[in-house]
Amino acid sequence: MFYVELLVIGLVWGCMYALMALGLTLVYGLLRILHIAQATVFTFGAYIGLLVANRTDSLPLAFVVAALAAGVLGPLIYRLVYEPILDQPPFVPLIASIGVLVAMEDGFRLIFGPYGLSFENNPWFTTTLAFGGITLNLVQVWMVAAAVLLLSAFALFVVRTRAGVAWRATVSDPVIAQNFGVSVVRVRYLNFFVASVLAGIGGVLVGLLNNLVEPSMGSVISYKGLAIIVLGGLGNVPGTLVASLALGVVESFGSVFLDKVLDRDAMAFLFLIVVLMVRPKGLLGGAH
Amino acid sequence: MDYYLSVATFAALNVVLALGLNMISGFCGQVSLGHAAFYGLGAYAAALCSVAGVPFVASIAVGILVAGAFGVVVGFAALRVREDFLAIVTMGVGFLFLGVVRKQSWLGAEMGISKIPSPLDKTGYALLAIGAAITVVLLSLHVRRSWMGRAFDAVAQDEDAARTIGVDVAGYKTTAFLLGTATAGLAGAIYAHMTQLIVPDAFNFVQSITILAMVVVGGIGSTLGVVLGAVLLTVMPELFRFINDYKLLVYGALLLVVMRFSPEGLAGLYRRVSGRRLA
């Protein structure tokens, strides 16, 4: 039973990682940028969600506003930071992205204070549900639900809509897509919007789960997100989802069995290094 | 006076660290986001030796060797994975180092190692660090001009082409990691003895990024540019109190601005103004 519980907790975290990593892998697939500044969007979403929730006492409204605010910030980062340096070697946007991440961490500290803020009223945190002996709180249930719903919606969007087709065309060959009349620039904005909305919602969920929103909350998740997309084989969406769930489970078991030798946050990277030494292109890499 | 000596010592140590990273990332083109791990390896290895009673010079040598040995291992990883994959792997190496050190009681866990014997006074450490910095500057200038420097350049520009014309890519990559990480070990060993106390957090991701910022602001690939970048980023927070309080804000913004307007850093600016390359 204990193992089942570990597995479930691992999968819950895996869903959280999937929300974060899908955005990262989308950005990478389109622009070959390791978008580490996604952490900034994540934390920003969490703060906005918290402020709205504490003012209006409505969590659904908090999610909507946070998602939209994050959805504005992401494309803004693209426009101001990445667009002017797209033709530079890959380390240039990566370092610029790290710059945004570390600067904004201090920025949040400056604006919202160093100690973090809590939700005044967090009903999801205190409500627990039992599933045949395994107890989860409502935030964890919503994490899974949000991941399943949003990722399914995304899959439908990509397969069924014109914009989705344009997107896939741009990812596989931007030049030919442009020749067929796809606005590559619009696809990029859409891409950052989607990635950022997912990150913003993830931010509010993690804020609710810890009942704490603090300036550095995004960075560890974003580092792990990078580990995940590398594990999944950069730009590979199914690989990313598999790697997210796998990492969640590895962490959850590792934090029990490897607790004496390794810090929880380092496990992702141990897993990453071991996998990459065996499969240098990631778990599902080399498929295309 | 003591204050100026300690600023000078840190500036010199940062020059050593930044030049080491520059050999890996600038000369040989292998982006590394975990340089602080090797700084930490050198510091921990030297500290353990000194605490166990090993003489000062031997402890420093052990620090260099341990960091260099692990550097070669990571260099092997660089043979398996490339570019963006490698950037994330090296970042992972940094987190793995911290994650392991934090849990080991024989390494002092979160409390680190304290009461490290310190045989020199402040002036002694300043001279030692400056001596180390000058040595590494000369080494770096020499490597750049040597056959090995050209081979590094070939690997950085196009690995496959380099291999085709017979450059031993694997050998040069590993050598670049060995040189870069061994110098980081030297800086770590000096740092451990000077402060007499080391904690895991001194070697975290932010430290790696700080070293990277020095390289990037100075101009990736240029020895003198990187020296300038390291000195500037060490001294600036000391000059302006505000910067010290919001160091990360300033470093982050600097990284962003340099990447946006002059990806070749100060060395790039110099070239644009004077028309000549900075060594």
SS3 per-residue string spanning chain B = CHHHHHHHHHHHHHHHHHHHHHHHHHHCCCCCCCHHHHHHHHHHHHHHHHHCCCCHHHHHHHHHHHHHHHHHHHHHHHHHCCHHHHHHHHHHHHHHHHHHHHHCHHHCHHHCECCCCCCCCHHHHHHHHHHHHHHHHHHHHHHHHCHHHHHHHHHHHCHHHHHHCCCCHHHHHHHHHHHHHHHHHHHHHHHHHHHCCECHHHHCHHHHHHHHHHHHHHCCCCHHHHHHHHHHHHHHHHHCHHHHHCHHHHHHHHHHHHHHHCCCHHHHHHHHHHCCCCC
Asked if pLDDT for residue A227 goes beyond 90, the answer is: no
Residue A95 in contact with partner chain B when CB distance is under 8 A: yes
For residues A37-59, average pLDDT: 91
Residue A267 in contact with partner chain B when CB distance is under 8 A: yes
Asked if pLDDT for residue B239 goes beyond 80, the answer is: no
What confidence score (pLDDT) does residue A287 get? 44
Best mutation target, B98, B214, B248, B262, to test chain A (most A CBs within 10 A): B248
Domain holding A184, by residue range, is 2-278
What confidence score (pLDDT) does residue A285 get? 64
**Higher-confidence position of A122 and B168:** B168
Which residues 147-186 of B have a C-beta within 8 angstroms of A?
Answer: none
**Higher-confidence position of B227 and B3:** B227
pLDDT tens digit sequence for A185-200: 888 899 899 999 999 9
For residues B165-187, average pLDDT: 91
For residues B258-277, average pLDDT: 83
Q: Of A254, A242, A250, A237, which is closest to residue A283 (Cα–Cα)? A: A242
Task: Extract the tokens encoding B184.
Answer: 């980081």
Per the CB < 8 Å rule, is A100 touching B81? Answer: no
Residues, chain B, total? 279
Q: How confident is the model at residue A288 (pLDDT cuts 50, 70, 90)?
A: very low
Residue B240 in contact with partner chain A when CB distance is under 8 A: no
Rounded-to-integer distance, Cα B186 and Cα A19, Å: 42
Asked if pLDDT for residue A42 goes beyond 90, the answer is: yes
For residues A196-218, average pLDDT: 90
Structural domain boundaries of chain B? 2-202
Residue B95 in contact with partner chain A when CB distance is under 8 A: yes
Please name the residue ranges forming H helices in A78-173.
Answer: 91-112, 123-126, 138-160, 162-172
CATH of the domain at A93: 1.10.3470
Asked if pLDDT for residue B100 goes beyond 70, the answer is: yes
**DSSP letters along B129-141, please?**
HHHHHHHHHHHHH
For residues A228-255, average pLDDT: 85
For residues A109-116, average pLDDT: 86
What confidence score (pLDDT) does residue B231 get? 93
Asked if pLDDT for residue A145 goes beyond 60, the answer is: yes
What confidence score (pLDDT) does residue A286 get? 55
> How many folded domains does chain A comprise?
1
**How much is the mean pLDDT over chain B?**
87
Rounded-to-integer distance, Cα B220 and Cα B259, Å: 11
pLDDT over 70 percentage in chain B = 99
Name the residue facing B88 among A104, A226, A260 (closest C-beta): A226
**How much is the mean pLDDT over chain A?**
86
